[in-house]
Structure 1
Amino acid sequence: MRQDEDAGRVTLATVADQAGVSVSTVSKVLNGREDVSSKTRVRVEQLLEQHGYRRGVRSAPDAPLIEIVLHEIESLWTMELIRGVESVAKANGASVVLTESGTRHSPGPEWIGGVLRRRPIGVVLLFSSLAPAHKKRLRARSIPFVIIDPAGDPEPDVPSVGSANWSGGLAATRHLIDQGHRRIAIITGPADMLCSVARLDGYRSAMGMAGLEVDPSQVAYGDFHVAGGFERARELLGRPDRPTAIFAGSDLQALGVLEAARVHGLRVPDDLSVVGYDDVAVAPWASPALTTVHQPLRQMAEAATQILLGIRAGEAVATRMELSTSLVVRKSTAPPPGTDRRQRNVSPATAG
């Protein structure tokens, strides 16, 4: 290859010649075919990346696709994110395809071959991470990607959109402290998810700022789902020194807490205050209406999709974006038993 050859005009024949394979083999690698040896695939991938190979626009499918990768479709927050991606995709003449990942937080090895065959114009990953090998293969095909609420701390070159989880956790806990609560428990999400850790850190910070010690027995790890919230809450409420308030790391877990309180014969908020997180559609309709941290899920998805399209268009875009959260005070929080209920704080507070 000539030293001054434009990398954007590299041909498959050039790559095939340097890799010592046929053009059809290079084509198979480009299209995610699995009938190529791993050694050959790695070599071709390296050359494609080295020379900055870019597909021509005509290689894209007739109906442009944006692929959403998620590990569960049923959750309420996932549906909000999907709606956000769909709204921007539709406005830009693209359709959306959903793919469930092979593991909880990262697409499995079978996914990458499929996505290369589908040739979407971009990939949006929810609550996920992306293996280095997958990043290379996507970039070699000029398929941009963005992660919404990444499972771990993404590398600087991985575009991501999240929300102010630490501030949200801080605001939720401060609200309970301002109500007069001192025995405040938290049911956070999985310990290996960045948003869970950030919300827990916000809780710890609020407790520390108020001069309150964090009792390790009042910290429980859940899974962001109703059943998990119910089980963790039953354990916390079964203790002799049960909490007077519980901050749940998701609204679904908070719904589980409400049911656990009922099973224990406790009234919310008279005997127990509960704060959720997300502000999903059912939160105002819970009994009682749920005080929660509003997370702008749809706006997060819309921003991520705009970033994706900007990358594809060659525009300079932000690689990290964090949207603000806010506390929405409803009926599930009040001062603890034995205090003057007339001092109840009902005005919303803002975080982020």
Structure 2
Amino acid sequence: MVMIDPLGVDTESFPNMSATDWDAGRDATEHLLSLGHRRIGFVTGPIDQACHQDRLDGYFSALGRAGIQQDPDLVRVGDSLVDGGVARGGELLDLDASPTAIISGSDEQAYGVYQAARARGLSIPHDLSVVGFDDVELCQWVTPQLTTMRQPLEGMATEATRMAIAISRGHGVANSRVQLASELVVRESTAPPRK
């Protein structure tokens, strides 16, 4: 058995394959920082999943390296679904000092953030920049097209299959924990904050 993107933090029991989620959280945040954003919200997916913990840790690291103090009001725990983006993104947008950008733990949830923004009369990316995770087909169907962190899903499945076949044939695997790099895909949903 080989686990792909294990849900919990016990990654030692079985060989496992995942994306570089910590790096991806950092890269998404650094992209927004490079555009000039300083109040960046984050709507995670289910926080009991290691990938969402890692993405959030990468976000905190990027903020710290930029000299920006962590603000717990700018973090919400979502469910990776559209409704979670509507609800948790709406909470962020209703803050007195709302964020100028929001990172979402999934693309579907980012679409919910789009809906929350539009319900408040906000335009993406002019009033709010949004970054998702995964790079599912939805990213290219929404307007504006979603900037996202592409997860190497096909590569993860391929490598996990190779590992499982090697194990089934009695061969060991050189590394029991393998991570493949995520990639920032910049589309239309991010821009410098309005002055």
Q: TM (normalized to structure 2)? A: 0.97
Q: Please state if 1:306 is matched with 2:154.
A: no
Q: Give 1:178's match in structure 2, choosing from 25, 34, 51.
A: 34
**Post-superposition shift, 1:154?**
2.8
**206-215 vs 145-154, which deviates more?**
145-154
The separation in 1 between residues aligned to 2:11 and 2:54, in whole angstroms, is 17
Structure 2 residue matching 1:327: 3-state secondary structure: strand
Q: Please state if 1:329 is matched with 2:186.
A: yes
Q: Which structure carries more relative contact order (alpha carbon 8 Å, separation 6+)?
A: 2
Q: Please state if 1:281 is matched with 2:137.
A: yes
AA aligned to 1:185 is G
AA aligned to 1:198 is D
Q: Give 1:266's match in structure 2, choosing from 115, 122, 125.
A: 122
The separation in 2 between residues aligned to 1:154 and 1:302, in whole angstroms, is 22
Matches within 5 A, 1:45-84: none
- Give every structure 1 segment of 4 or more consecutive aligned residues whose post-TM-superposition deviation is greater than 4 Å: none
Q: Please state if 1:236 is matched with 2:92.
A: yes
**Post-superposition shift, 1:156?**
2.8
AA aligned to 1:292 is T
Instruction: Please identify the structure whose Cα radius of gyration is greater.
Output: 1
The separation in 1 between residues aligned to 2:52 and 2:187, in whole angstroms, is 23
**Cα offsets for 1:20-67 (capped at 9, x unmatched):** xxxxxxxxxxxxxxxxxxxxxxxxxxxxxxxxxxxxxxxxxxxxxxxx
| Count of residues paired in the alignment | 194
**Post-superposition shift, 1:320?**
1.1
**Post-superposition shift, 1:299?**
1.4
Contact 2:17–2:156 (Cα < 8 Å) also in 1: yes
Structure 2 residue matching 1:262: 3-state secondary structure: helix
Q: Structure 1: 5+ residue runs without aligned partners?
A: 1-144, 339-352
Q: Give 1:319's match in structure 2, choosing from 156, 173, 176.
A: 176
CA RMSD of aligned residues (A): 0.9
Structure 1 residue matching 2:149: 3-state secondary structure: strand
The residue that corresponds to 1:187 in the other structure is 43
**Post-superposition shift, 1:155?**
4.6
Structure 2 residue matching 1:277: 3-state secondary structure: strand
Q: Give 1:246's match in structure 2, choosing from 102, 105, 110.
A: 102
Contact 2:148–2:184 (Cα < 8 Å) also in 1: yes
Matches within 5 A, 1:1-352: 145-317=1-173, 318-338=175-195
**Post-superposition shift, 1:146?**
1.1
**Cα offsets for 1:215-240 (capped at 9, x unmatched):** 10000000111110111011111111
The separation in 2 between residues aligned to 1:164 and 1:205, in whole angstroms, is 14
**Post-superposition shift, 1:189?**
1.1
Structure 2 residue matching 1:173: 3-state secondary structure: helix
The separation in 1 between residues aligned to 2:182 and 2:29, in whole angstroms, is 14
The separation in 2 between residues aligned to 1:207 and 1:156, in whole angstroms, is 30
Structure 1 residue matching 2:148: 3-state secondary structure: strand
AA aligned to 2:28 is A
Structure 1 residue matching 2:42: 3-state secondary structure: strand
The separation in 2 between residues aligned to 1:165 and 1:239, in whole angstroms, is 28
Change (3 A) 1:221 1:155: closer
The separation in 1 between residues aligned to 2:77 and 2:42, in whole angstroms, is 8
**Post-superposition shift, 1:287?**
0.7
**Post-superposition shift, 1:252?**
0.7
The separation in 2 between residues aligned to 1:330 and 1:165, in whole angstroms, is 20
Contact 1:154–1:160 (Cα < 8 Å) also in 2: no
